[in-house]
Chains A and B, each alone.
Chain A
Amino acid sequence: MKIQAFPYNDFVIPFLIGTVLLFGIIIFKYIKWIRRFDDAQRAVIRSNWYLPWKVFPAIWEMLREGLLHVRILRKNLVLGIMHQAFALGWFLLIMVGAIESRDAFISLNHEQDIEYVRQLENQTGWSVKDKEQKKDPEQLNQRRYRVETESGPARIHYRRPFYVGIFYRYFVHEAPATFRLHRRYADTMDALLLYVFLGLTLAVVKIFYSRMMGMRRTTKHTIVDRFAKFSLWMIFPLRLLAESVTACLYGNGGFFTQAVGNLFDPMIVRGLETSLWMFYSLMLGVFFVTMPFTRYMHIFTELLLIYFRKLGMKESPKKTGYTYFELNACSRCGVCIQGCPMDKVLGNHEVQSVYLIRSIRNQDFGRRLKNIAENCLMCDRCTVDCPVGIDLSALRRQTRDKGPIDTIGNYSYIPDDKQPFNAMSRVVYFGGCMSHLTPGITQSMERIFQAAGQRYWYMDKDASICCGRPLRQQGFTNQSDELRRKNTEMIEKSGASMLVTSCPICYQSFKKEYDLKIPVMHHTEYIDMLIKDGRLKVRHDDRHVSYHDPCELGRGCGIYDEPRSVLSAVTNLQKTRYQREKSVCCGFNLGNTKLSVEEQTRIRNVSLENLTSKPVDAIATACPMCKKAFQRATTQYTVRDIAEFVAENIID
């Protein structure tokens, strides 16, 4: 007769309820979000979800970022170790716990088998030899079967429900005699618990001394988040306590839990054992239930986000299912706060991306969210810093969206004869509205085109249409679309084979928001190409110049090397402390219409200080906005666009 044994104690109930609710809720949410994917996103999944060259990199990144947290590690070692300890440590505790319990239960059942066979031999007088068993297991089984169906001895078989791994030490008080790896497993589990404790200690230290983790300022959490954090933090000390008490009573602990357990008096703690396991289970349950409603929702969502992103999914201008994955993948780690000029320079601690995302998630629509969404330079500093890689500017643009507004484009001021232009021209030059306010740049570009023998059409020389990005940044999406339509029409009609623009704002727009069939280049890229191809001869002067990376060109489009290459060809380029991804916005970005000029000026001064920290003769930039910002500030330094440096140094 076979008896099914089922390890169970009432204390698993909170854990079970928590688990069921957790997975029930998140699966419900995920299905809801996936159903809200737009057509383009659906198409991405449909055509890519199984492709090995998409899936394997995705899995690799999930492991790298979900468990190892490599991006945070690179940012700050201690902060990385903290995050890694929680994620990897807990994950391994669960995995190793599951494997340990599996092995232990195999041993347990094996022990029972031996016991059963021994009783069988006693009862029937048969002798089951190991040799025989090896030789013909089938026969043995048949014999067993016969005995079992007749009135043989009871044979206990232990079932292993999935929660056993979590409460393993309680359910297997005495290690099975046949389970030789018991000590090794116990020690490993203790080491992993200590690893999590390392993370826990760092997290506590972070409250008091976050600078150790490279954090000037940490996220200010809501009460619900703090409660969830508290329950998370309590899980591990309670587990230690419960395991130690069990170790004290039964001696089944590893090096750490046993050592702690030995400190207790068995007579006193005997009555506490089940209660402690109950508290541990309760904490797990509480944490699981709060998880889908707090920042800890990121744990699973981040993995899915990585998968979808690796398949090639992108944010769309409107809120879609993918947006929900992005919103919920934010762990509110606060890395986005560190570089934010709004925080660092202006001391505004309320508008950073972490709070934007929280506000959208908590659905506090109305003025509060609006204020957060609008008060941002859109300098993308947080986007490059975000360890989860969330498209923060896109989320902000969605929130800023003013909805459909009737728009009729009036282009009567553009003379018709401007449009069909000299078909011999190969390049369309689009200066951009801001470049009209810095005629030094457009003049230099015209000079460069002439020197390189390039035929070109200066598209917006007399009558211009905005590229549409400033409107888009402010949420006037369909007006922006109208401008984009007209510009596209004009560019396509021209038949040109390349578009060169002087303004990084236009550049990003043409490159990412337009769907042009011809290559788009910023003038720094274009000049770099001319110099490298030998079409433009330049001389090297002896000026020392520092370069300011414009937000839209650098972080926005990843153009860091071409401007440096051009500048090095004509002057001596000086490095600055904050450069490339870390460059400080000039403050006069079109992204923020809420700032006063005084506040913009304060940001500008910080940026300027960075550029002039080493002795330089001039400041170079590649954006008319930045140029104007610095030009207004200083008479001490000359401020020039890269195109102007080049135009001054052309050898005819």
Chain B
Amino acid sequence: MKKVAIIGAGPAGIEAASALARMGVAVNLYEKSETPLKNLQDKALLFPNFQAAQEVADELAGKLLTDGVSTVYGTDITELKWLGTEWKLFDAKGQTYVADAVIVASGYQVFDAHRKEELGYGIYKGVITSLEMESMIKHGRILNASGDEPRNITFLQCVGSRDEKSGNNYCSKLCCVTAVKQAIEVRKQLPKCEISVFYMDLRMWGQGFEEMYRTAQEKYGINFIRGRISEAAGTFDSRIQLKSEDTLMGLPLKMTSDLLVLMVGMEPSCGTRSIGVSCDICGDYGFIRTISPHLYDNETGRPGLFAAGTCKRPMSVWDSINDARSAAVTVKEYLDQQG
């Protein structure tokens, strides 16, 4: 029986694994950490329908029990080698595995906000990332630096994406809607809190996003300001003083906020980067390169090597899952051709 290795047990990896297993292919799923779906489980609710991320995660985790899927945790695959008929996988501990085909689904990580020191992340307690906000929302404990209920919260878009100086010129695609979603969540939990979102432009590309954005303004009274925050400074009472410009009004702006939430962009994960380099399928910014986004979006150009999910570009959960199914079909076709 043919064997397929899938790197990464996120939504894409699990979906591809179960799909292939149902088609009668043996799948080995390698995951770096000790549990699957790490990134997904950090989330509270998923846009646009505010479905609990845990629900989606549970259902996906259930698919791991499909016959033919065996999952190996704590295995960080760092290098792949094509042996002519099969792929050899090397993990960080030096162990090796073989497979007839490989799907790279090694996913993303968020931009390290320390790299933009002017925003004060890691220096002022009141500056947090969208991930930390997500976790606060999830646990229903939204607190400012002094441990009190915040009176005002400011979101800043495009931290580490669409940012030439950070080296990430691309749009991370999901932060706009995430900020809108988080702002609504915060409003639901803290009805009195003043919420502002600083944006460059809001890209409400998906189904239901535009409606969410509208509701956020009309129903939830969230204040959207076009402009970037140039610097953040701490005040004596552990609040954050922000300097910005309202580019629609054409006026400089100075305001103080309890919390500054940095909407950090998506970057290829460490695993994605190292696999990309070792197989020579490294595209722009370290994401995995595919042959063509239209017709061959799962093929990398190397025989038996496929990619699915956010290792290719920023993607939503449902896009990842769809992409994984398409990858599964593509792999199956490939294996059948090989005989």
Contact = CB atoms under 8 A, between A and B. Distances in A.
Interface of A: 436-440, 443, 597, 601, 627-628, 631-633, 635
Contacts of B123: 439-440, 443
B166 A632 contact: yes
A457 to B, nearest CB: 17
A76 B45 CA distance: 67
A628 B117 CA distance: 8
Contacts of A440: 117, 123
B84 interface: no
A635 B112 contact: yes
A234 to B, nearest CB: 54
Contacts of A597: 164-165
B117 A437 contact: yes
Interface string B245-274: 000000000000000000000000000000
B114 A631 contact: yes
Describe B's contact surface by its main secondary structure: mixed
B147 interface: no
Nearest to A631: B115
Contact of B118 (A439, A443, A601, A635): A439
Given A632-B165, A632-B166, A632-B167, A436 B117 contact: no
Given A439-B232, A631-B114, A632-B116, 10 more contacts: A436-B231, A437-B231, A439-B117, A439-B124, A440-B123, A628-B117, A628-B118, A632-B166, A632-B167, A633-B167
A383 to B, nearest CB: 28
A266 to B, nearest CB: 76
Interface string B144-167: 000000000000000000001111
B234 interface: yes
Interface string B109-151: 0001011111010011000000000000000000000000000
Interface in B205-245: 230-234
Contacts of A438: 117-118
A391 B55 CA distance: 69
Contacts of A631: 114-115, 117
27 contacts: A436-B231, A436-B233, A437-B230, A437-B231, A438-B117, A438-B118, A439-B118, A439-B120, A439-B123, A439-B124, A439-B233, A439-B234, A440-B123, A597-B164, A597-B165, A601-B167, A627-B117, A628-B117, A631-B115, A632-B115, A632-B116, A632-B165, A632-B166, A632-B167, A633-B167, A635-B112, A635-B114
Contacts of B230: 437
Nearest to B122: A440
A500 to B, nearest CB: 19
Contacts of B234: 439, 443
Contacts of B167: 601, 632-633
A597 B117 CA distance: 18
Interface of B: 112, 114-118, 120, 123-124, 164-167, 230-234
A443 B234 CA distance: 9
A635 B113 CA distance: 10
B118 A437 contact: yes
B41 to A, nearest CB: 23
B255 to A, nearest CB: 14
B276 to A, nearest CB: 17
B114 to A, nearest CB: 7
A334 to B, nearest CB: 34
A175 to B, nearest CB: 77
Nearest to A601: B167
B220 to A, nearest CB: 32
Contacts of B112: 635
A562 to B, nearest CB: 24
A354 to B, nearest CB: 32
Contacts of A436: 118, 231, 233
A628 B167 CA distance: 13
Contacts of B233: 436, 439
Contacts of A601: 167
B278 to A, nearest CB: 18
B117 to A, nearest CB: 5
Contacts of B165: 597, 632
Contacts of B118: 436-439, 628
Contacts of A633: 167
Minimum-distance CB pairs A-B, first 3: A437-B118, A597-B164, A438-B117
Nearest to B163: A632
Contacts of A437: 117-118, 230-231
Contacts of A628: 117-118
A440 B231 CA distance: 12
B71 to A, nearest CB: 29
Q: Which of A436, A443, A632 has the most CB of B within 10 A?
A: A632
A436 B117 CA distance: 9
Nearest to A444: B123
Nearest to B118: A437
Contacts of B114: 631, 635
B289 to A, nearest CB: 19
Contacts of A439: 117-118, 120, 123-124, 231-234
Nearest to A436: B231
B167 to A, nearest CB: 7
A628 B114 CA distance: 10
A620 to B, nearest CB: 15
Contacts of B164: 597
A437 B123 CA distance: 12
A376 to B, nearest CB: 21
Nearest to B232: A439
A427 B81 CA distance: 62
A637 to B, nearest CB: 12
Q: Which of A436, A439, A440, A628 has the most CB of B within 10 A?
A: A439
Contacts of B116: 632
A438 B231 CA distance: 9
Nearest to B230: A437
Contacts of B115: 631-632, 635
A439 B123 CA distance: 7
A601 B118 CA distance: 19
A438 B233 CA distance: 10
B119 to A, nearest CB: 9
A443 to B, nearest CB: 6
B84 to A, nearest CB: 35
B120 to A, nearest CB: 5
A438 B167 CA distance: 18
Q: Which of B115, B116, B117, B233 has the most CB of A within 10 A?
A: B117
A597 B124 CA distance: 28
A586 to B, nearest CB: 13
Contacts of A443: 123, 234
B243 to A, nearest CB: 8
Nearest to B127: A439
A299 to B, nearest CB: 47
B121 to A, nearest CB: 10
B260 to A, nearest CB: 12
B13 to A, nearest CB: 24
Contacts of B124: 439
A212 to B, nearest CB: 38
A440 B117 CA distance: 8
A437 B120 CA distance: 8
A597 B165 CA distance: 7
Nearest to B120: A439
A583 to B, nearest CB: 22
Contacts of B232: 439
A107 B166 CA distance: 81
A639 to B, nearest CB: 9
B270 to A, nearest CB: 9
